[in-house]
Amino acid sequence: MRDLDVKGKRVFVRVDFNVPLSDGRVMDDSKMLAALPTLHYLVEADARVIVASHLGRPQGKIVDSLRMDPVARRLSELLGQRVEKADYVAGEELEARIQQLAPGSILLLENVRFDPGEEQNDPAFAASLARLADIFVNDAFGTVHRAHASNSGIAAYLPAVAGLLMEREISYLNRSKENPVRPLVAILGGRKVADKIGVIRHFLEQVDSLLLGGAMANTFLKAQGYPLGKSLYEEDKVDVAAELLQEAQEKLAEIVLPEDVMIVEELKAHAASRVVKVSEIPAGWMAVDIGPVTVKRFETIIREAKMVLWNGPLGAYEYPPFNRGTEQIARALAEAGAETIVGGGDIMAALEKIGLAHKMTHLSTGGGAVLDFWEGKPLPGLEAINHDPKNIYSTDSRE
């Protein structure tokens, strides 16, 4: 973005303002805060700024509860200037309105997913977005793994560059993948092995230790023959987990699984619980968090690490006190001397809640995007800004 003269130009900025709302208010503005440096830069450079984002999953229909008005109000407060809000995302009326924007002003478009052409990456919709601007800035790392009109298709028609947040994300993630310091430790949690098979295989080639928690760890424990009671696991991925455990013996990484877990009969907040070894989970009980022995082992590995990568909670974080294991590991990371790169909304929320977010080297705004990056999958939104503008689609679609 710094490479272009934006003074007086119409700059279309794709951000990730997919934030939680309640009663017409933004409940977590961390994604918005992350994009402020880019917006401040453009405002101070006297650009005419058009901001676009999706919100929720309206599936190409107008959903009043997913309108961007609360986001516009909060963005005005964060920037300290009025942010205008449009009730639509394209069209001649909007183009005329943008022509009247004063340098240094900001207009937030309506939810781009209200148009079915957004998620379809429809060339006609991408062209209509491009008509609004002179320059495209992609600052939405959280959606960079999606080939959508407002973060990929639009780049066929405009000079396409990275925003400051995107630049920071790629800088840290490239370092974690191409030039890590060792010992290198990865921590993966969450529910599904299926979502992370490729990432796990990547880490087996790259890291020294791979620490697994959450329900996905249960699938690996099942592959080792442990009784899991009624713990959540993926029965159709047990064979895959067994293969990955076998691969780990032939690769660089050691897979470290829980040795003990906290168990309950019913998953609800503050349910009666106890800690058992993973070999002693009784029928009718389920594992919901890593236990103290596991926490200590994870902490020992983290203390020796020089770089730690983390995605996914290590237990049923939304049901306290089964957030304890995740928070204890977060504190271990905060106290470690390692570089710490954390991705995923659940972990970011946990770190914010316990006041440790500022202790991490880099908090990524992407969840799925981080996993796809580490796995080496194509990132359409990133690939779009690596090339000069060219018509991927027929030029007729813009007429």
pLDDT digits (tens, 9 = 90+) for 292-317: 999 999 999 999 999 999 999 999 98
Task: Check pLDDT > 60 for residue 390.
Answer: no
pLDDT of residue 357: 86
pLDDT of residue 392: 37
Q: 186, 310 in Cβ contact below 8 A?
A: yes
Domains 10-169+379-398 and 180-366 in one fold = yes
**Which residue would you say has higher pLDDT here, 350 or 186?**
186
Q: How would CATH label the architecture of 10-169+379-398?
A: 3-Layer(aba) Sandwich (3.40)
Encode pLDDT of 73-100 as tens digits: 999 999 999 999 999 999 999 999 999 9
Task: Check pLDDT > 90 for residue 251.
Answer: no
pLDDT average, residue stretch 132-136 = 96
Output the pTM of the full model.
0.86
pLDDT of residue 393: 39
Nearest to 199 by CA among 375, 377, 370: 375
Q: How confident is the model at residue 191 (pLDDT cuts 50, 70, 90)?
A: confident
Encode pLDDT of 348-369 as tens digits: 778 888 888 889 999 888 888 8
* DSSP per residue, 238-305: HHHHHHHHHHHHHSSPEEE--SEEEEESS-STT--EEEEEGGGPPTT-EEEEE-HHHHHHHHHHHHH-
pLDDT of residue 386: 60
| Rounded distance between C-alpha atoms, residue 345 and residue 181, angstroms | 25
Encode pLDDT of 196-235 as tens digits: 898 999 999 889 999 999 999 999 999 999 999 999 999 9
pLDDT of residue 397: 35
Alpha carbon distance, N-terminus to C-terminus of the chain:
27
Nearest to 332 by CA among 185, 234, 208: 185
The pLDDT > 90 percentage for the chain reads 79
pLDDT of residue 398: 34
Task: Check pLDDT > 90 for residue 325.
Answer: yes
Encode pLDDT of 51-80 as tens digits: 999 999 999 999 999 999 999 999 999 999
pLDDT of residue 213: 96
Nearest to 344 by CA among 332, 362, 329, 359: 362
Q: Which fold does the domain 180-366 belong to in CATH? A: Rossmann fold (3.40.50)
Residue ranges of domains in the chain: 10-169+379-398, 180-366
| Rounded distance between C-alpha atoms, residue 6 and residue 46, angstroms | 7
**What is the torsional sign of CA 11, 16, 22, 28?**
negative
Encode pLDDT of 255-292 as tens digits: 999 999 999 999 999 999 999 999 999 999 999 999 99
